[in-house]
Amino acid sequence: MSSLPTDSDHQPTARDAKAAPSRRSVLMAGAAGAVVVPALSACGSGSGGDGGSGGGRLRVGVAGGSSNDTVDAHNPTDNPDIARVYNLYAGLCRFAADFSIEMALAESLEPNDAADVWTATLKEGLTFHDGSPVNADALIFTLKRITDPDKPGTSAQQLATMKRDDLKKVDERTVEIPFEEGYVNFKELCAEYAMGLVPEGYDPENPVGAGPFAFSEFTKGERSLFTAFDDFWDGRPKVDEVEIINFADESARVNALVSGEVDAIAQVPHSQIEVIESNDALQIMESESGMWLPFTMRVDKKPFDDVKVRQAFRLIVDRQKMIDQALNGHGLVGNDVYGRFDPFYDEDLPQREQDIAEARKLLKEAGYEDDLEVELVTGPINAGAEAAAQVFKEQAKQAGVTVKLKRVTSEEFYGDNYLEWTFAQDFWSARHYLSQTAQGSYPGAPFNETHWEDEEWIEIVDKARAATDDAEREKLVQQAMKIEYERGGYIIWGFPSMIDGLSKKVKGFEPSVVGHPLGGYNFRAVTVES
């Protein structure tokens, strides 16, 4: 996602696909903020294009998975969940590979001048997997299900100002969606993977959607199988079936690709890229992305309830070394602010660099002098996460901080204690700043892992969400970014490239900057040669 500010001595390495353009070159396109993003790269032959014979089954190995796995359209959490909802469901809009927004089930989605009423008109003649119509009643049912106060969906907070009791069916294909105040980012939200339309009476145990594949089989923590949907709005998928297989262990995932058990794997461990590149039957697909793997500090728990400790921990990190060591150079330096592709991303924030002397000073002022010990929870939640934890442990020693690593399985990480860890990690895909705040930083957000609740910041974000004037919204977004940059609970050290492994028999994958593997889990255009 366009180039990040970098230390002048640490420019993107030769391994990066191409030098990305400045964020100042990012173009806005309407209130939703579609963007132009940097070039992508596919290494090895056979990526992209329409080659391949079609038909058959595509077998995909995905990182993570647990007994908490779900196929619920509106409550995905980890990688396998996200892969499933991308393929079972479709929303009003979708993100293209370049992070621009395209219409999907909607023919149009437009706001009034104040952006407090949006009108959605659905494409004509669409159906769900069970043959029922994709219509206004289904859209209203979907929006009400996501915002059910008794069981809110992942996107519920982003719809907190929607007047759910005042949704208006204009005709069989048209719905007016009112909000308490202007909501300029609604179109962007409608492209999110957890916003898929479902028919009235939807049962997540027997899921029906309007995505490119229909539900067939599902075993939690193990695998799922889907069949091509002939009447998908964008054309029937090129394979007949998709099998998504969970691999919590990174080596097992690579071994499955090498042995031919699967045709493609998401998130190749950086230490095993050469294993795949050395195999004549396999290839690597790499693209820059908006994915970020933060360290998460709970601002309401010691020692991170002291802003000086949070500032010190950010100064402990040598970001380029972490990219070199944890990602084998496949990534770009971060600056503790998410929303890398946001047109309003503040490039003027000083690039934070390692400063051990200042970190020690801040820790001493906070009452810690060579005696601070913290536990860092890590696990195989995403490629590079465990390696980054080890690098942080070593870098922290320089500041007199002892880091004890607690390695857990992906199931335990996203189990009952998820969002309760005092110091941990996570993974996020690309979003614009305001959309991300609603997912991870705003009070009531479904994944507020840092327990951030800053009154000044909340007031600014609320104003930004309602601001229809671009210049005003830019000023507010940058004010909010600066507050999080100075006193937030994230250490955002870098933006890893997406690195996936493919059999050369697989054709049609296109790199995507959205921040999810395998072209944003886009399986509909893929073929597998027999």
At residue 394, the 3 state secondary structure works out as helix
Helix H or strand E encompassing 434: helix 433-436
> What b/e readout covers 460-478, taking b as 16+ CB neighbours within 10 angstroms?
bbebbbbbbeeeebbbbbb
Q: Is the model's pLDDT at 12 over the cut of 90? A: no
Task: Give the residue-averaged pLDDT of 221-229.
Answer: 97
Q: What pLDDT shows up at residue 369?
A: 87
Cα–Cα dist 37/21, whole Å: 8
Q: How confident is the model at residue 271 (pLDDT cuts 50, 70, 90)?
A: confident
Q: Is the model's pLDDT at 9 over the cut of 70? A: no
Question: Would you report the helix, strand and coil content of the chain in percent, each value rounded to 5?
Answer: 25, 20, 55
At residue 219, the 3 state secondary structure works out as strand
Whole-number mean pLDDT of the chain?
89
pLDDT for 70-115, tens place per residue?
A: 999 999 988 999 999 999 999 999 999 888 999 999 999 999 999 9
Whether residue 12 has a cis bond before it, omega within 30° of 0: no
Closest among 136, 120, 87 to 234, alpha carbons compared: 87
Q: What is the dihedral of CA 155, 159, 160, 161, to 10 degrees?
A: 170
Q: Is the model's pLDDT at 3 over the cut of 60? A: no
> What b/e readout covers 78-101, taking b as 16+ CB neighbours within 10 angstroms?
bbbbbbbbbbbbbbbbbbbbbbbb
Q: For 266, what's the count of Cα atoms within 13 Å in the CB-facing half-sphere?
A: 30
Asked if 432 contacts 185 with a C-beta cutoff of 8 angstroms, the reply is yes
Burial class (CB in 10 A: 0-12, 13-18, 19+), 60: buried
Q: How confident is the model at residue 54 (pLDDT cuts 50, 70, 90)?
A: low
Q: Which two tokens stand for residue 520?
A: 């944003």
Q: What pLDDT shows up at residue 51?
A: 41
pLDDT for 348-404, tens place per residue?
A: 999 999 999 999 999 999 999 888 999 999 998 888 999 999 999 999 999 999 999
pLDDT for 287-314, tens place per residue?
A: 888 889 999 999 999 999 999 999 999 9
Q: Is the model's pLDDT at 27 over the cut of 70? A: no
Q: What is the pTM of this model?
A: 0.80
Cα–Cα dist 164/426, whole Å: 32
Q: Which amino acid would we find at residue 243?
A: E
Q: Which two tokens stand for residue 329?
A: 């150079």
Asked if 323 contacts 333 with a C-beta cutoff of 8 angstroms, the reply is yes
Q: What pLDDT shows up at residue 288?
A: 85
Q: What pLDDT shows up at residue 274?
A: 93
Q: For 185, what's the count of Cα atoms within 13 Å in the CB-facing half-sphere?
A: 27
Q: What pLDDT shows up at residue 109?
A: 98
pLDDT for 377-391, tens place per residue?
A: 999 888 899 999 999
Q: CA separation (Å) from 257 to 11, 49, 82, 273?
A: 33, 22, 21, 12
Phi-psi region of 35 (alpha: psi -120 to 50; beta: other; left: phi over 0): beta
